[in-house]
Amino acid sequence: MTAVRIAFLVACLALLAWGLLGESHTVHSLLVPTREMSGFEFSEAAARDGLTLEKSKLFEPAKPGDPQEDICYT
């Protein structure tokens, strides 16, 4: 069990490291050029429901001042 615990912790740390350093999401927008979003930016966008999925692509809100920029729909 000791080896399993260590292996699990290492796997979790590797996933966290990937999230911190390597996570990337391609985000499209009608206002700005397509860009890559880091894990931090994605979490922040998720917290305000700031992305939509259209035809398997992530899009930022089309209109500036869209309500979802200000308030989470929770």
Partner 1 sequence: MKLGPYIGKKRFWWGLVGSSLVNLRLFGLSLKSVCGPGLNCHGCPLAGVSCPIGVMTFSASVRTFPALAVGTVLTIGALAGRLVCGFLCPFGVLQELLYRIPTRKFGLPNWTRYIKYAALLLLVLALPLLLGYETSTEARLYYCKVCPKGTLTATLPYWFSGSAGGLFTGGGLAARLAVLVVFLALMVTVSRAFCRTFCPLGAIYGLVSRFAMTRVVIDNEICTDCGACDKVCPVELDVRREVGSAECIACGECIKVCPVTAISRKLGP
Residue numbers of the site for partner 1 (CB under 8 A)?
1-6, 8-9, 12-13, 15-20, 22-23, 25, 39-44, 46-49, 51-53, 56, 58, 67-68, 71-74
CB of 32 to partner 1, least distance (A): 19
Nearest-approach distance from CB 66 to partner 1, in angstroms? 9
Which two three-digit tokens encode residue 74?
Answer: 């929770």
Q: Please, which residue, 32 or 62, has the CB nearer to partner 1?
A: 62
- The SS3 of residue 8 is helix
Alpha-carbon separation of residue 46 from 2, 52, 60 (angstroms): 36, 10, 11
Q: Cβ of residue 31: shortest distance to partner 1, in angstroms? A: 18
Q: Considering beta carbons, is residue 29 or 58 the nearer one to partner 1? A: 58
3-state secondary structure of 71: coil
Quick one: which H or E segment has residue 45? helix 39-47
